[in-house]
Structure 1
Amino acid sequence: MTNLADIAARIDGYNPDALEAGHAQDIIRSSIAPIEGWETLTLTAALGRVLAADIVSPINVPAHDNSAMDGYAFSGRDIGEHAVELQVAGVAFAGHPYTGGVKAGQCVRIMTGAVMPPGCDTVIPHELVQSISETAITIAPGTVKPGDNRRLQGEDLAAGTPALRKGKILRPADLGLLASLGIGEVPVQRRLRVAFFSTGDELRSIGEKLDEGCIYDSNRYTVYGMLTRLGCEVIDLGVVCDDPASLEATLRTACETADAIVTSGGVSAGDADYTTTVMAKLGEVHFWKLAMRPGRPMAFGKIASNGKSAYLFGLPGNPVAVMVSFYFFARDALLQMMGAQREALPMLRVASQSAIRKKPGRTEYQRGILSLDDEGRAQVRVTGSQGSGVLRSMSEANCMIVLPHGQGDVDAGELVNVVVFDGLC
């Protein structure tokens, strides 16, 4: 893991008390190491898991030259400058090849996916045939070219070549691809174990009495949802009171049972916020405040206890800040720990429907609603109040407007960066 001296030397003006968001992302990325350990799963159990090794195709796909259309197969040598009549020699079905011979001037009626008959290299779709009878067809000149509508053996995937690479997160199409190769089991990375908890004397769990000045703990459920959607094995450690001894004991338990720890609350500069202090006692804190909004108080580092270690992401306490910090900082790191291939969040450039106030010198993540105007062009507007405690705005939003560190005010109609929530949260 990168140490503080290396970080300080690499970043001009390194300040862990006011770090640029981009620098924080770089620090996390350079510090994280993938976990070890894998298991073999059946395809039906492997959805969403990370491949632990390359999958090499044992066969050609397709396994033979075949027709891409319903139509008639023949030799491209029979095509000329004039209309040509071909005699129908037989029929080829998918799974039931035509086994007879095909002479010059003959064709075979063929179905999609059927093996190309010997001597045939071209297929004319049924609807392009000029005339058809039970025994012959007529092809007009210029209708097809030699080789048209034929799928070649191994065209999609040749035997001995990688079908899927290590680090691929398996999606439904990948399961289908593996099944098409006759592969029923795959090696996948073990699940990443992530412990999480909330801090704060004011927090109450659902079902508990809500005393005066107290609030229900929403962050734990939000974090649970984000971790579960990411495919982690989650360890819920509940709510920890604002007490250094309790916090240290919980962090030690988390460290000894998990690969990573996600906390919410307790990382600001308040007198009762102890997370960064305990982190420093148990390990090293790489940064603890970012030049961003929402979510300025965020800590990242690594702690150890009884010979075990874990990366720690100390997220803010405000509900929106928790989600922003997770998606733009913790999420990528956890995927990296899983051994997943790195895929940056896709960023769109979209016109803002209205002016947005923005102070240069910090990165801002504003909740937005992406839509189409009357002419089908993408546009985005903020959800309204951008207070970091307005969780309802995250539920209403379908995207995040990302305004970079040096950005100032945005004019109506100006293009802004947008990250769409679909598939993310």
Structure 2
Amino acid sequence: MTTTPPKTSSSAGAPGRGALLSLDEAIERLLSTVQPLPPASHERVSTFEALGRILAEDVRSLLDVPPADNTSMDGYAMRAADVPAEGTRLPVSQRVPAGVVGQPLQPGTAARVFTGAQIPLGADAVVMQEQCSAEASEGGEGLGAVRINTVPESGQWIRRRGEDVQHGSVVLHAGTRLTPAALGLAASVGAANLQVARRPRVALFSTGDELVMPGEPLKPGAIYNSNRYTLCALLQSLGCEVTDLGIVPDRLDATRAALRDAAHGHDLILTSGGVSVGEEDHIKPAVMAEGRLDTWQMAIKPGKPLAFGSVRRSGEDAGDSAAGHSGAWFMGLPGNPVSSFVTFLLLVRPVLLRLQGATDTAPRTYTLRADFDWPRADKRREFLRVRLNAAGGLDLFPNQSSGVLTSAVWADGLLDNPGGQTIRAGDAVRFIPIAA
């Protein structure tokens, strides 16, 4: 870390009393505070193993793509001037499959070519085989002849050298998140390995004496810890190295000890639950004691509370933590399952991408049609769980409670609804895919 974390106060940097912080302002504060991991931590990996990683340096092409003029069709290569009329007959002088370099084309002849094959020197057009009639040679020897049933134009069905990529050009820029298509492009220009940002190291734990793990007896008043599984999977989907610290008891000393342990060897500490102001919510005082903290009340639904700060490592003093150069960032999410899920997508995801130096941290959004009514507008910006339907519109999950995790499983994405906005069937709305 290279910038100063938020001030040591639960209200530091927050809006005026009673006001709520907008989502856009919260994201801006996070991204202006959290800086990318240092270049010294970058690593070179096989292109085969780079899916989902963030490029740390530009990828330049080592060659022209395609490396030579080639045919985009099975057919016959010829000089267009040798076919003045339909029905022109040309002897076939050579056969050129992909991967073979043919001989210069003799005037007045055609070359049998196959998709991807290099165009023989001298040819300037390809006629697809469906527009040609092959004729066998007399006596069964030789390659025979071909009758051209259409008059070709110079350049047709030829992919020119460097048409896709030119030698030395940048095909992928630093900060790009590597998709399957991007890996294919890198391979097509000869990049066997890629310089990428180190995977963020994230420590994850939950707080709450009411939490138990699946497989354990469910005593009265207890609930299974679903957030542990959801958040761990979300972190892994973004390429993070996750250390699962389990469930921390609802005690201040235990929470402080967990934070100290988590600060070592991690870039981010992520928790769920314990970020409100109840007597059993110890995250806030624990982080303030071990580092710095800002708690925000955001104008979004679900996911109103968010805690953000940093935890210093042992051996650092308060001045070291204030400099923000060697501690671990801290983000505390609400405990309700859907609130935790949504705030991760909206706020933690961009932070993790920022740590890796991604140039685009915002989710992809689409304008789609709502196929439902939402007559009860909320003052806060709402993120409704919706699903794409066969008609190209969006359906709404009937129960939008922040505790109903089935809504997130059922949904394809979130409908980003501005505060105070009702929705009628047929309205254009903003859709954020969950998998973005």
- Calculate the TM-score normalised by the size of structure 1: 0.89
Contact in 1 for aligned 2:14/2:21 (Cα 8 Å)? no
- Cα distance 1:415–1:174, how it changes in 2: closer, same or farther (>3 A)? closer
CA contact (8 A) 1:194 1:232 kept: yes
Counterpart in 1 of 2:139? none
Q: Does 1:96 align with 2:97?
A: no
4+ aligned runs moved over 4 Å, structure 1 = 2-5, 11-17
Partner of 1:74: 78
What amino acid is aligned across from residue 355 of structure 1 in structure 2? D
CA distance in 2, matches of 1:112, 1:410: 52
Superposed CA offset, 1:120-142 (max 9, x none): 1211111123x43233333345x
Q: By how many angstroms is 1:396 displaced?
A: 1.6
Distance 1:186 1:15, change over 3 A: farther
Residue 140 of structure 2 corresponds to: none
> Is 1:370 matched with 2:388?
yes
Paired residue type of 2:25: H
1:138 corresponds to 2:134 = no
User: Which of 424, 428, 434 pairs up with 1:411?
Assistant: 424
Post-superposition shift, 1:323?
0.2
Q: Helix, strand or coil: the match of 1:219?
A: helix
Distance 1:160 1:211, change over 3 A: same
Relative to the length of structure 2, the TM-score reads: 0.87
Q: Could you say if the C-alpha distance between residues 350 and 181 of structure 1 is closer, same or farther in structure 2, counting changes exceeding 3 Å?
A: closer
Distance across 2 between alignment mates of 1:416 and 1:43: 38
Q: Distance in 1 between matches of 2:376 and 2:285?
A: 32
Matched residue, 2:255:
247
Name which of 213, 220, 228 aligns with 1:212: 220
Contact 2:205–2:272 under 8 Å retained in 1:
yes
> In the TM superposition, what whole-angstrom CA distance separates every residue of 1:163-206 from its partner, at most 9, and x where no partner exists?
32222222323333333333322222211101111011111122
- Long gaps (5+) in structure 2: 8-12, 137-143, 317-325
Residue aligning to 1:393: 407
Report SS of the residue matched to 1:23. helix
Q: 1:144 to 1:303 in 2, by over 3 A?
A: farther
Report SS of the residue matched to 1:247: helix
What is the CA-CA distance between 1:227 and the residue it aligns to? 0.5
Structure 1 position 239, deviation (Å): 0.6
Q: SS at the partner of 1:28?
A: helix
Would the alpha carbon gap of residues 241 and 98 (structure 1) be closer, same or farther in structure 2, given more than 3 Å must change?
same
Where 2:264 maps in the other structure, the secondary structure is: helix
Would the alpha carbon gap of residues 347 and 252 (structure 1) be closer, same or farther in structure 2, given more than 3 Å must change?
Answer: same
Residue 154 of structure 1: aligned partner: 162
Identity of aligned residues (%): 36
Q: How many residues align?
A: 410
Q: Secondary structure at the match of 1:322?
A: helix
CA 12–170 in structure 1, closer or farther in 2 if over 3 Å, else same = closer
Counterpart of 2:269, as a letter, is I
* Partner of residue 32, structure 2: 30
The 8 Å contact of residues 204 and 243 in structure 2, kept in 1 or not, is answered as yes
* Contact 2:312-2:327 at 8 Å conserved across structures: yes
Of the structure 1 ranges 164-173 and 147-156, higher mean CA displacement relative to structure 2 is found in 164-173
2: distance between equivalents of 1:16 and 1:24? 16
Find the aligned partners of 2:5 and 2:17 in 1 and give their Cα distance. 14
User: Could you tell me how far 1:65 is from its partner in structure 2?
Assistant: 1.3
State whether structure 2 residue 123 is matched by structure 1 residue 114. no
Q: Deviations over 1:226-245 (max 9, x none)?
A: 00111100011111122222
- 2:59 aligned residue: 55
- Give the alignment of 1:176-191 within 5 angstroms: 176-191=184-199
Q: Which residue of 2 aligns with 1:353?
A: 371
Cα offset for 1:12? 11
**Cα shift at 1:88:** 1.8
**More displaced, 52-61 or 258-267?**
52-61
Distance 1:168 1:409 in 2: 37
Provide closer, same or farther for how the CA distance between residues 2 and 365 of structure 1 changes in structure 2, counting only shifts above 3 A.
Answer: farther
Contact persistence 1:85–1:105 (CA under 8 A): no
What is the distance in 1 between the residues matched to 2:350 and 2:181?
A: 23
Describe the superposition over 1:90-143 as per-residue Cα deviations: whole angstroms up to 9, x where unpaired.
2111122222x42332211111111111111211111123x43233333345x5
For 2:10, the equivalent position in structure 1 comes to: none
Change (3 A) 1:109 1:278: same
**Counterpart for residue 193 of structure 1:** 201
Question: 1:8: which partner in 2?
Answer: none
1:325-344 equivalent positions in 2, closer than 5 A: 325-344=343-362
Using the TM superposition, name which of 233-242 and 199-208 deviates more. Answer: 199-208
2-side partners of 1:151 and 1:208: how far apart? Answer: 63
